[in-house]
Chains A and B, each alone.
Chain A
Amino acid sequence: MSESRFKVVKSNRANRIALAAAGLVVVGFVSVPLWAQPSFQRTLTTYLCLLALAQMWNLLAGYAGLLSVGQQAYIGLGAYGLWVFADGFGLNPFLAVPLAGLAAALIALPTSVLAFRLRGGYFAIGTWVIAEAYRLIVTNIDWVGGGSGTTVTGASHVKMATRIPVTYLMALGVAVGSVLLVFFLLRSRLGLALTAVRDNETGAESLGVDVSRAKRYVYLISAFGCGLAGAVTYLNLLRIQPNAAFSVQWTALMIFIVVIGGVGSIEGPIIGTIVFLALQELLSDYGSWYLILVGAVAVAITIWNPRGIWGLITSRRPLNLFPLRRHLVVADALAPEAVKPEGSVGRSE
């Protein structure tokens, strides 16, 4: 059993074809500003930001077991970060977006100390309280418009023909970036640690995985992603109000999208976003009924089909567009069963 007889394989031909197809889809999305109406670009911007947010919640809850109901804290902070850097400090509004994301991550660091005092369901409550506290603090600051909010004037002065396509492309960047970020993160050492934590937290800790550090990294990354998505969302909307920017409805949407698509897979949030888009656009004339329906679907899926739509698709035929598993291959090729998931190291379901 010399070492050379084994190798660890992460991807196969099907994955590479799928990735190439995904690349083509992205190219198609990049071309949108060349042919689409501004209103269509603005709508797509909304959903691309939602996709990024859903990826961030999935990373938190699906992979790190951090059941946050308070990610709206970082969406709101990202939105207000945009205003502070663009209008408060007079920077270019597009440059203000990444700075807003960084600011959200920076604030998340001390916040995590408090939030991590609680576990499971109480962690959810804690994050919600923290988001409410940030909302009320912002509401009490007159400089940023207090309770009635403010407008990102630095961005509204940029002419529409530039602002809308650039905002759209930034949203696309954030969405694709969130998918790639989660993908490479999960393939990294941190990803292995998270997988171990997900499967058995105590076991992982006893094998030397620094569980709390891994979780904290994920929390900060998710805050950064939510901050970025929040900043791009409000670069699209321009008018910021604390009750809307810090609304728990953001987290509700993230959760519903992830649950419907499939918790704990990169493909899940993508599918969930498409389903959500379809339902919301179809039911746009019926007030908040889309939310009731989406919520009901998410509840039903949690109870009867916890792996979501992506789980349904892959239960018949093993398929993953984003190869995260590590397969142990015996070099002799005499043991083909070794490439089956049973013989894989890492993600086991």
Chain B
Amino acid sequence: MTWVNLVIQGILLGGLYALFASGLSLIFGVMKLVNLAHGDLSNMAAFLALIVVDSLGWNPFASLLIVVPLMCGVGYVLQRYLLNRTLERGPMPPLLVTFGLAVIIQNLLLEAFSADSQGLDAGRIEDAALTITGRLAVGWLPLVTMSVAIAVIAGLQFFLGRTQLGRGFRATSDNQSAAQLVGINNQRLYGLAMALALATAAIAGVFIAIRTTFTPDAGSLRLIFAYEAVIMGGMGSLWGTLVGGMVLGVAQTIGSQIDPGFGVLAGHLVFLAVLAFRPEGLFAKQVAE
């Protein structure tokens, strides 16, 4: 029963990683951008939520009403005035700029909030659990997180497949110049994609901040987990990312059960094994390279 429990915990943890990773999948799909600042931006959202909670006394979930639009704005401005200038110049400039931003954000958070770990208190939901059988219980918070992850991914899929703007995203992804020829404003579109990506990053950042304590340097590890989910799932496939996140989550929870110091490492090792034996990802639409 312990093992069933572990696998369920791992799968639910994977929901959180997928929530983080869905934004990365989206922007890579639309503009082939690898955003090394995604983790730190989502951590920044958690600190923004902390400010909202402390100053207005709101529940952390309610703080999303302020934090998500704010992060959308940050994403749009960041993309239009900074990152757009680095696209179409090869893979190096966007990587350098996002990596630089990651370091800047992390150290600004450190200067503003010190290295102390912070927490967001969401009340009773943090401890409440749904009892399935006598010895099997699942926390409400991970369940809600997983539901939100599925809802976000389904929402993104619907948006990309069924809406006018989503079709624009796909068109740009397929052929930039052709999309421009039929009247799509790529620069604006990229801004909107980043706004959307940071909205998901903000939701994920606040959820993880409710789940556990967080520090200014928490962003980089989350970035790694998120990209592990993206790469394992097969790049550019949103549902693949969800499965990639679940594989990572299960590897980590089982690893921690074997030895508390082995959890994160087990996740990395599974990721490297996937890289060695199935580099195109577990659910790739097409072979990478």
Contacts and interface: CB of A to CB of B under 8 A. Distances in A.
A125 B104 contact: no
Interface string B260-272: 0110110011011
B261 A118 contact: no
Interface stretch (A77-85, A86-94, A288-296): A288-296
Interface string A285-320: 001110110011011001100100000000000000
Contacts of A119: 91, 289
B103 A263 contact: no
Contacts of B92: 61, 65, 67, 263
A289 B268 contact: no
A121 B100 contact: no
Classify chain A: how many residues form its interface, as a range.
Answer: 35 or more
B193 to A, nearest CB: 16
Contacts of B108: 292
Interface in A212-243: none
Nearest to A290: B107
Nearest to A133: B268
B99 A255 contact: yes
Interface stretch (B117-125, B148-156, B220-228): B220-228
B84 to A, nearest CB: 10
A277 B276 CA distance: 40
B107 A140 contact: no
Contacts of A101: none
A178 B254 CA distance: 44
B85 interface: yes
Interface in B75-118: 82, 85-86, 89, 91-97, 99-101, 103-104, 107-108, 110-111
Interface of A: 61, 65, 67, 69, 113-114, 117-122, 124-126, 128-130, 132-133, 136-137, 139-140, 147, 248-249, 252, 255-256, 259, 263, 287-289, 291-292, 295-296, 298-299, 302-303, 306
17 contacts: A114-B276, A118-B231, A119-B91, A122-B34, A126-B275, A129-B227, A132-B224, A136-B268, A252-B99, A289-B111, A292-B103, A292-B111, A295-B104, A296-B104, A299-B100, A299-B101, A302-B86
Ordered nearest first, which 5 A-B pairs have the shortest CB separation?
A121-B34, A120-B91, A136-B265, A299-B100, A117-B279
